[in-house]
Structure 1
Amino acid sequence: MSGAAVLAGLGTFVPPRVVTNDQLSLTLDTSDEWIRTRTGITQRHWVDPGTATGDLAVEAGRRALTAAGSDAVDLVVLATTTPDHPCPATAPEVAARLGLPHVAAFDLAAVCSGFVYALATAAGAIAARTATRVLVIGAETYSTILDPEDRTTSVIFGDGAGAVVLRAGEPEEPGALLAHDLGSDGSLKDLITVPGGGSRLPPTAAEKPGPRPADSYFQMQGRPVFRHAVTRMAASSQAVLDRAGWSADSVARFVGHQANVRILHAVADQLGMARDRVVVNLDRVGNTSAASIPLALAHAATEGLLAPGEKVLLSAFGGGVTWGSTALVWPDIPVG
């Protein structure tokens, strides 16, 4: 085998609790119309108290393994911004709960670009023959880090998990990851951030009684994020198209990070791609950060929007800031 990474199985999970725009309007200065017109979101799923990111990751991972027809992998990579604990990483426990107690496992933090970064990382492990089968998971519980009084973030994000199994194969096979592009710009780190809780601003306030400190919540500067997301996703997507030798017209589906429908359409416009090729499921699940691309892929596959043999372009932008894209030909695989 040449060491190409080939998509072998896909699984997803969202918590059962649905939170509608109308429900949020009861406690926030917002409305269903305001949220829909600015984001395209109508509802999102949030975990109940006591449910953690690792719980969602385990369920999505189990479904992906079942879809792939094997529970044997050499590596587990978990992309997340909301780990169960600051230390240790969540991935080793997820692996153990999946019956994979001795495999390599680690977390990857690239915020909303996390799943694309994890795909490239897993593909590199397969190319280096460090692994022959890799479980890649994107899982988030953003509801646990949102300021309940901030309508600019609380209305956008949802919880969920998506996972894929990659196996070693040939680049000519359907499902092979054909090209990657990754990038970052740390000078823009303050655009998307949770300021507190790290070594820069330790969580000493959490030990004191009283309200949760504001620096422990997720914060985002919406307008510049929109601008940079469109620019970076479009440029990264074009770089991947060039490396794959594809034209934008040849791509059947653009599956971008599900942050905002206006961002997705703007990226398609810059690429010269018809908007009807853009996969959108954020209206049902919101922005699920690292989980958004696998959730969107599963939606497209189960709704008949993806057919085996079609060219698919993935792209994302997230905190850091980070961005990345991947190209593949869709395989004939089950979705769990």
Structure 2
Amino acid sequence: MVNRGASQLKNYARIIGTGGYLPEKVLTNADLEQMVDTTDEWITKRTGIKKRHIADTGQTACDLAEMASRNALKAAQISPSDIDLIIVATTTPDRIFPSTACLLQQKLGVSGSAAFDIQAVCTGFIYALSVAEKFIRTGSAHTALVVGTETLSRIIDWQDRTTCVLFGDGAGAVVLQSSEDLGVISTHLHADGNYQQLLTVSAGISENYHKLREEGAFIQMQGSEVFRVAVRTLERIVEETLVANNMDKGEIDWLIPHQANIRIIEATAKKLNLPMERVVVTVDSHGNTSAASVPLALDIAVRDGRVKRGDTLFLEAFGGGFTWGSALLKY
């Protein structure tokens, strides 16, 4: 677990720019009705999802990350050469190696700074944000680019109606910079590998690698079990984060959650005593974009004016592993 309050270190890590990118292709619930035995009503009632974006055949996770990163850099009014740390959270990297972060570094036309990937599935962005914040707070970096990017459509079985309706592709990014102004207040990270079989891709480079060639490797999920654990776990991390910072629920301005399921989002909002008007919801139009969902939602809320400077934000996510985490910050 990571849990370090703002008072313990001198430098703050503050978000100075956000960016997002979604592929042009849109797959609606009506489209899925033509592909598998499902209905718009069933999908909407159980998940809140109406559509999702799908990357083109030649479009990679790094391509999406580059677009989101350039939008974030533009918002921050800095150039790629100002970045001295790149962390990419992804479950669907372009290659086994080099890391997607190194590929992104090359696309941005810079070199020399540290660049690496983090794999914590849907919690990946929260993990990456936490790591970048520690680099900045300890003086190891001044300006960090933190990206969540996914092409989950590549690991979806489009004949499995329990999973193919849930996921989409996209990327979100933030620029973190050392500041005297309060930024990231605390982060809280957890994992429990005992639940690994409830949400998994059961093949990889070392285990069941033959499946990659012979059968393909796709997301497998025991949905009802994942839902129950996710709700309980996110309730606990709300309490943990508030207690760690001696903060009342009423001090939270916005909940920016992982966009997996509207019912999980509503349960977390209830725990925070936040009306849904104070919750950023994009699951209806993006589906579950895993590590990209939190930064995408943040970027949308910043750009449409809902999230303003000085607002207190509660970011949270839950994903395969299981992993889960939160970040409390001043925007």
The share of aligned pairs that are identical, in percent, is 44
Q: For residue 314 of structure 1, what is the aligned residue in structure 2? A: 315
Q: For residue 59 of structure 1, what is the aligned residue in structure 2? A: 67
Q: Is 1:106 the equivalent of 2:113?
A: no
| Aligned-partner Cα distance in 2 for 1:304–1:36 | 27
Q: For residue 53 of structure 2, what is the aligned residue in structure 1? A: 45
2:163 aligns to what SS in structure 1? helix
Q: Is 1:237 the equivalent of 2:245?
A: no
Residue 229 (structure 1) shift: 1.1
Deviations 1:92-129 (A, max 9, x none): 01011101222111110000000000000001111222
Residue 147 (structure 1) shift: 0.3
Q: For residue 135 of structure 1, what is the aligned residue in structure 2? A: 145
For normalisation by structure 2, the TM-score amounts to 0.93
Quick check: 1:78–1:118 contact (8 Å CA) kept in 2?
Answer: yes
Q: For residue 22 of structure 2, what is the aligned residue in structure 1? A: 14
Q: Is 1:124 the equivalent of 2:124?
A: no
Q: Which amino acid aligns with 2:184?
A: L
Aligned residue among 84, 87, 94 for 2:104: 94
Distance 1:126 1:21, change over 3 A: same
Q: For residue 180 of structure 1, what is the aligned residue in structure 2? A: 187
| Aligned-partner Cα distance in 1 for 2:122–2:269 | 19
Q: For residue 280 of structure 2, what is the aligned residue in structure 1? A: 279
Aligned residue among 84, 88, 97 for 2:94: 84
| Aligned-partner Cα distance in 2 for 1:89–1:46 | 22
| Aligned-partner Cα distance in 2 for 1:3–1:199 | 41
| Aligned-partner Cα distance in 2 for 1:55–1:155 | 24
Residue 78 (structure 1) shift: 0.2
Q: For residue 159 of structure 1, what is the aligned residue in structure 2? A: 169
Q: For residue 327 of structure 1, what is the aligned residue in structure 2? A: 328
Residue 20 (structure 1) shift: 0.5
Q: Which amino acid aligns with 2:152?
A: Y
| Aligned-partner Cα distance in 2 for 1:293–1:282 | 10
Q: Which amino acid aligns with 1:96?
A: Q
Residue 87 (structure 1) shift: 2.4
Residue 305 (structure 1) shift: 2.1
Residue 152 (structure 1) shift: 1.1
| Aligned-partner Cα distance in 2 for 1:275–1:88 | 41
- When the two structures are aligned, how many residues end up with a matched partner? 321
Distance 1:68 1:23, change over 3 A: same
Q: Which amino acid aligns with 2:153?
A: S
